[in-house]
């Protein structure tokens, strides 16, 4: 039987751009609760928060990015309302390290077909790669290992007829100093070009730090990309988004904490719901206004 193919249109706006609310945090969310004085927050409480985020921000959002443990159950609790696309995070919740550096690995149970069975329109897969990482003294090449994993994810998604969205976060190499802004831009761009060559449907990337770095990035990519918010305040993210689209050819955003992070410190109830439907929606509308006429439709890049 021929595979029915889902395209990126399933998670895009009618203009073919991305206005995706990220709420796939697990470990990060637990740390946010701890910082808010709630280190004992339960899975049920965190799932309830995600239900409120979904209810408060659906409508303007083109899609939501959810995790398997808390976000997928939250989806099951929604009532009728505005439709939206769904990305499901399929990377392992606990990733290994090798001599202090992250290792990219697969969870064989969270395949593309598993994402489809749970209502997902696209697979999101997180990696941490430094394309400039030298092979270690032990001969282990973490970048080459990561390439094999990403190829497997891309091939699995293609076979299932579902888009692959791969996110990369860079990191300081073991034993090295913290990156300067220039080094950080170089690392983001080189890793993005490396990832682009592996063929994912959409890249989810960090902001490379400046208009000039965005132009460098745009000149070397062949696939659409969306910028992440990294939890920065909304006023700063609006600038990041504007520059990413104007100078970097970004096709929109996949942003989370910039939109809803204050809700973590609020008790469940009408005040939290009102905050998300009010201030959260205002921020999402602001981000949508920024990308309107700026973000590059994904089909323009992919064609």
- Domains in the chain: boundaries: 8-302
Instruction: Please give the mean pLDDT across all residues of the chain.
Output: 94
Cα→Cα distances 6→63, 157, 165, 189, 274, Å:
14, 10, 13, 28, 34
Does pLDDT of 249 surpass 80? yes
Of 55, 122, 51, residue with least CA distance to 89: 122
Both structure tokens of 120: 């997902």
228 class by beta-carbon count within 10 Å (0-12 exposed, 13-18 middle, 19+ buried): buried
Identify the three-state secondary structure at position 21: strand
Q: Which residue's structure tokens are 């309830």? A: 48
SS3 content of the chain, % helix, strand, coil (to 5): 45, 15, 40
Give residue-wise pLDDT tens across range 28-49: 999 999 999 999 999 999 999 9
Q: What is the DSSP letter of 100?
A: T
In this prediction, residues 192-199 reach a mean pLDDT of: 98
Span 8-302 CATH architecture: Alpha-Beta Barrel (3.20)
Task: Tell which residue, 56, 41, 47, has the closest CA to residue 75.
Answer: 47
The stretches of the chain forming alpha helices (DSSP H) are 27-35, 43-57, 71-75, 112-117, 142-160, 181-196, 211-220, 234-248, 257-260, 270-275, 281-291, 298-302
Cβ atoms of 298 and 251 within 8 Å: the answer is yes
Sign of CA dihedral 105, 260, 287, 9: positive
Cα Dmax for the chain? 57
First vs last C-alpha separation in the chain: 27
pLDDT band at 139 (very low <50, low <70, confident <90, very high): confident
Residue range 81-116, pLDDT digits in tens: 778 999 999 998 787 888 888 999 999 899 999 999
Q: What is the pTM of this model?
A: 0.95
Q: How far apart are CA 32 and CA 25, in angstroms?
A: 10
pLDDT bin (cut points 50, 70, 90) of residue 2 is low
């Amino acid at each position: 039987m021929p595979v029915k193919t889902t395209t990126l249109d399933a998670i895009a706006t009618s203009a073919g751009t991305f206005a995706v609310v990220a709420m796939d945090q697990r470990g990060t969310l637990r740390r946010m609760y701890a910082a808010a004085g709630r280190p004992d927050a339960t899975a049920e409480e965190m799932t309830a928060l995600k239900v409120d985020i979904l209810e408060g921000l659906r409508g303007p959002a083109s899609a939501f990015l959810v995790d398997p443990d808390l976000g997928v159950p939250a989806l099951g609790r929604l009532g009728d309302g505005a439709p939206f696309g769904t990305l499901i995070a399929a990377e392992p919740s606990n990733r290994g390290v090798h001599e202090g550096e992250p290792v990219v690995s697969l969870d064989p149970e969270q395949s593309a077909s598993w994402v489809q069975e749970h209502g997902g329109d696209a697979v999101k897969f997180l990696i941490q790669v430094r394309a400039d990482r030298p092979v270690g003294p032990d001969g282990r090449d973490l970048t080459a290992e990561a390439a094999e994993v990403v190829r497997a994810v891309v091939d699995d998604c293609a076979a299932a007829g579902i888009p692959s969205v791969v996110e990369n976060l860079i990191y300081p190499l073991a034993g090295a100093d913290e990156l300067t802004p220039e080094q950080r831009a170089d690392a983001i761009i080189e890793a993005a070009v490396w990832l682009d060559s592996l063929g994912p449907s959409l890249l989810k990337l960090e902001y490379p730090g400046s208009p000039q770095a965005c132009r460098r990035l745009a000149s070397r990519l062949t696939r659409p990309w969306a910028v992440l918010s990294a939890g920065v305040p909304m006023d700063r993210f609006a600038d990041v988004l504007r520059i990413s689209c104007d100078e970097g050819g970004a096709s929109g955003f996949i942003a989370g904490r910039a939109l809803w992070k204050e809700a973590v410190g609020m008790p469940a109830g009408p005040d939290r719901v009102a905050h998300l439907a009010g201030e959260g929606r205002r921020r999402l509308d602001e981000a949508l206004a920024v990308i309107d006429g700026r973000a590059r439709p994904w089909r323009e890049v992919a064609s």
